[in-house]
């Protein structure tokens, strides 16, 4: 069943790509065999876009798609939406702001539910991005749900990580530094026409100075007004420049290590489900329950 899907995928059939993603998400029979036969790909680059809710990530991604299309690139966008904690379905669904691109021949957009994943991503995000690579897109944009510091998981997926903030984030910048700030390759100060934007950028530059920051390379700061398409060309250029930097060679092995680690971790956990844990917990006495002892029966 998987062979025809792979052939159609490599031929650029977007319907086959959508079907194959569902094939992987639902872990249908043969999905692991399909994954093991995907060709190697060193061409496609992954751009991660993250940041707090309300920063304008979706509008920014919408504009970035347009900039990349101007450069005659093929772009796939994977939008990871928050999930209901009860049924694991997506709360937001497909991004309405990107509807102008849904029928464009060089754009593929898919919304994915995070399904409770703590890193702001989808539990099968590695498999899905590898599938999209097989369809020969130049860029894959991952937009995460914006869940805070646990969102740093995206740093293990993306060749370039874009952190989107707004001038009002000034009071939160200290708490961000311990987590999300450290993963940024490019900072985008969106809605930069608002009051205090210049002062915010200045403070951000000070915090990214070598004295205070752990970043090895330059972290670019781009001011944008995404809903007016301002600054997006500069952002596109900054992303390309980052991807061409020398340190990318070292980063590649770190990224590969993170992806392989995640695959091994999921493989070892695949026979354990939350539903199974819940049913087992219902049989236990909550007054005498020792969580560590309870958990050991599933991995020892």
Name 174's bridge partners: none
Same-domain pairing of 186 and 98? yes
Q: What is the mean pLDDT of residues 132-147?
A: 86
Q: How confident is the model at residue 255 (pLDDT cuts 50, 70, 90)?
A: confident
Same-domain pairing of 117 and 241? yes
Question: Is 293 a member of any domain?
Answer: no
Helix (H, G, I), strand (E, B) or coil at 62: helix
In the prediction, which pLDDT does 94 show?
44
Question: Is 294 a member of any domain?
Answer: no
Same-domain pairing of 70 and 120? yes
Same-domain pairing of 33 and 48? no
In the prediction, which pLDDT does 87 show?
41
Same-domain pairing of 104 and 236? yes
Q: What is the mean pLDDT of residues 50-72?
A: 92
% of the chain exceeding 70 in pLDDT: 80
Q: Give which of 41, 252, 242, 44 is closest to 156, Cα–Cα.
A: 252
Same-domain pairing of 165 and 28? no
Q: What is the mean pLDDT of residues 256-267?
A: 83
Sign of the torsion formed by the C-alpha atoms of 240, 189, 51 and 194 = negative
In the prediction, which pLDDT does 63 show?
95
Q: What is the mean pLDDT of residues 183-207?
A: 90
67 Cβ contact partners less than 8 Å away, ≥ 6 residues apart? 232, 233, 235, 236
pLDDT at 176 over 90: no
In the prediction, which pLDDT does 262 show?
81
Question: Is 56 a member of any domain?
Answer: yes
Question: Is 291 a member of any domain?
Answer: no
Give per-residue pLDDT as tens, 7-41: 998 888 999 999 999 999 888 998 889 998 998 88
Q: For the chain, how many structural domains are there in total?
A: 2
Q: How confident is the model at residue 178 (pLDDT cuts 50, 70, 90)?
A: low
Same-domain pairing of 86 and 201? yes
Q: Which domain holds residue 113?
A: 42-269
Residue with tokens 């999300």: 180
In the prediction, which pLDDT does 59 show?
92
Dist. CA 163–CA 172, nearest whole Å:
14
Same-domain pairing of 47 and 34? no
Same-domain pairing of 32 and 141? no
Dist. CA 181–CA 208, nearest whole Å:
9
Give per-residue pLDDT as tens, 80-95: 876 544 444 444 444 5
pTM for the model: 0.82
Long-range contacts of 30-36, Cβ-Cβ distance < 8 Å, separation of 24 or more: 30/1, 30/2, 31/2, 31/127, 33/2, 34/2, 34/5, 34/6, 35/127, 35/130
Dist. CA 132–CA 139, nearest whole Å:
9
Same-domain pairing of 57 and 33? no
- Is 258 or 160 the better-scoring residue by pLDDT? 160
pLDDT at 129 over 80: yes
């Amino acid at each position: 069943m998987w062979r025809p899907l792979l052939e159609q995928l490599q031929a650029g059939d977007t319907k086959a790509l959508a079907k194959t993603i569902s094939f992987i998400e639902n872990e249908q029979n043969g999905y692991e065999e399909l994954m093991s036969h995907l060709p190697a790909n060193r061409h496609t680059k992954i751009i991660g876009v993250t940041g707090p809710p309300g920063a304008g990530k979706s509008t920014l991604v919408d504009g970035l798609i347009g900039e990349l299309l101007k450069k005659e690139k093929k772009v796939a966008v994977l939008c990871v939406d928050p999930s209901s904690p009860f049924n694991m379905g997506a709360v937001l669904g497909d991004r309405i702001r990107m509807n102008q691109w849904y029928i464009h021949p060089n754009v593929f957009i898919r919304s994915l539910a995070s399904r409770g994943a703590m890193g702001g991503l989808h539990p099968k995000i590695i498999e899905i991005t590898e599938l999209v690579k097989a369809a020969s897109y130049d860029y894959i944009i991952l937009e995460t749900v914006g869940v805070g510091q646990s969102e740093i998981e995206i740093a293990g997926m993306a060749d370039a990580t874009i952190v989107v903030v707004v001038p009002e984030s000034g009071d939160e910048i200290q708490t961000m530094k311990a987590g999300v700030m450290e993963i940024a390759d490019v900072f985008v100060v969106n809605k930069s026409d608002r009051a205090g934007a210049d002062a915010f950028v200045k403070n951000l530059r000070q915090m990214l100075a070598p004295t205070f920051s752990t970043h090895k390379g330059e972290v670019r700061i781009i001011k944008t007004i995404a809903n007016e398409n301002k600054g997006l060309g500069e952002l596109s250029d900054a992303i390309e420049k980052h991807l061409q930097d020398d340190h990318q060679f070292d980063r590649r092995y770190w990224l590969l290590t993170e992806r392989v680690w995640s695959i091994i971790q999921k493989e070892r956990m695949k026979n354990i489900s939350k539903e199974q844990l819940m049913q087992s917990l219902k049989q236990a006495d909550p007054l005498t329950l020792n969580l560590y002892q309870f958990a050991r029966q599933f991995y020892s």
